Amino acid sequence: MENSHPAAKLASPKVAIPDVSIIIPARNEETNIANCLKSLTSQTGVALEIIVADDGSTDRTREIALGFAGVRVISPGPLLDGWTGKNNALVAGTKEARAQWLLFTDADTIHKPGSLARAMAEAKSEGAELLSYSPEQVVVTFAERAVMPVIFSELAAQYPPEEVRDPNSGIVAANGQYILVRREAYDAVGGHAAVATEILEDVALAKLFRNAGKRVYFRYGGDAVRTRMYRSWEQVREGWTKNLALLFLHPEKLAVQGLFLWFVAWSALGVAGWGAASGHFLWIACVAFWSLVYQRISIAHFATANNSIAIAFGPPMFAYLLLRSKKAYANGQVSWKGRAYDVGAARSEPVKRKGAELVPEIESHRLRTGN
């Protein structure tokens, strides 16, 4: 399986077992992989090994990764029937890992100095067998700045971290950009092989841990890691089309609600301007309403300027992506990074009403790889 440049080989068996094995699935990540590996190879306070699972890259991803001393680069091999490329890469990386803790992180992440040692300490102090951070989201283009705050504010409302941390809440989630697990617990629940057909493998993995009675700890992790998920509208569209219909139970309803709120917010702003100019007290109520909309967006931890752009332009874009995702799942196929996945007519439902509780339901997708 392994095909590494000599400079990238880690160790002979005489070398001490690391504290944590870092596994990075990478497919055509030449833009991101160098910065990710720089941030990880410079981590201090913890003994680590880094395994890059090159998922059939056709760009310089493999070449760049091989240039980092102490980084192992492996080839996961062909996809098994129904498996996603990311899950295949993660399973392959896990087989090569030697540590008792595993960090699964994406190639587009950048890790702050000392963050891994702090994460290890936090997992142990919290008694967590799965710790996941939602990274700081870096946005640059107009499309990113308009829609990402809207999406992440809705995710924060759907999966409040404090409720995810509560084993009795009925809500469970994780962010696949940063998942730290204790190896023994990971193997006990079946690991990524048990969710290999899932597109939302992170949430499905967290559900396995929760169902097995193992502690899941989730929070916003901007103090530890940041990422730029997408770099163009085309990437935003493809990525969220793949995910949104799985993350939200009723995409159509959420789209309509978002558009209504957007319309009311703009109307309130117009009335506020008229009221301020005419001295009418209505401007106060309208500004207060606008502030409530801003407060909802702000829970996603974006800068003030980005939040303002998102309120002004984001909801219609979010509605479009929701409906596009719903349609893709109804048509039975989604795509990502040059692969098409047959998802059938059914889809996973993240939450269902059961009494007064929200109960996660991550059902199995039997996916078919298109190429």
Q: What is the set of domains in the chain, with CATH numbers?
A: 6-232 (3.90.550.10)
How wide is the angle at C-alpha 318 spanned by C-alphas 132 and 255, nearest 5°?
Answer: 105
Long-range contacts of 254-263 (CB under 8 A, 24+ apart): 254/154, 254/322, 255/318, 255/319, 255/320, 255/322, 255/323, 256/319, 258/150, 258/315, 258/318, 258/319, 258/322, 259/315, 259/316, 259/319, 261/293, 261/315, 262/311, 262/314, 262/315, 262/316
| 198/211 Cα distance (integer angstroms) | 17
Its pTM stands at: 0.85
Partner residues linked to 179 by β-bridges? 104, 132
Cβ proximity of 241 and 334 under 8 Å: yes
pLDDT in tens, the chain (371 residues): 444 433 333 444 456 899 999 999 999 999 999 999 999 999 999 999 999 999 999 999 999 999 999 999 999 989 988 999 999 999 999 999 999 999 999 999 999 999 999 999 999 999 999 999 999 999 999 999 999 999 999 999 999 999 999 999 999 999 999 999 999 999 999 999 999 999 999 999 999 999 999 999 999 999 999 999 999 999 999 999 999 999 998 999 999 999 988 887 777 666 655 555 666 566 566 666 667 788 889 999 999 999 989 988 999 999 999 999 999 999 999 999 999 998 864 444 443 333 333 333 333 333 333 33
Tokens matching residue 275 = 């009221």
- Cβ-proximal residues to 144 (8 Å cutoff; 6+ apart), any chain: 228, 230, 231, 236
Partner residues linked to 180 by β-bridges? 103, 131
- What burial letters (b/e) apply to 168-181, b meaning 16+ CB within 10 Å? ebbbbbbbbbbbbb
Tokens matching residue 254 = 């959420």
Cβ proximity of 131 and 119 under 8 Å: yes
Long-range contacts of 234-240 (CB under 8 A, 24+ apart): 236/143, 236/144, 236/147, 236/148, 236/321, 237/321, 237/324, 238/335, 238/336, 239/336, 240/147, 240/151, 240/321, 240/325
Cβ proximity of 76 and 92 under 8 Å: yes
pLDDT digits (tens, 9 = 90+) for 63-92: 999 999 999 999 998 998 899 999 999 999
| 121/127 Cα distance (integer angstroms) | 10
Per DSSP, the three-state class of 293 is helix
Tokens matching residue 164 = 């995810």
pLDDT digits (tens, 9 = 90+) for 252-280: 999 999 998 888 777 766 665 555 566 65
Longest dimension (CA), the chain: 80
| 38/93 Cα distance (integer angstroms) | 19
Half-sphere exposure of 263 (CA within 13 A, CB side): 7
Residue 159 backbone phi and psi in degrees, to 5: -125, 70
Angle, helices 85-96/201-211, rounded to nearest 10 degrees:
60
Tokens matching residue 318 = 């979010």
pLDDT digits (tens, 9 = 90+) for 288-334: 666 778 888 999 999 999 998 998 899 999 999 999 999 999 999 99
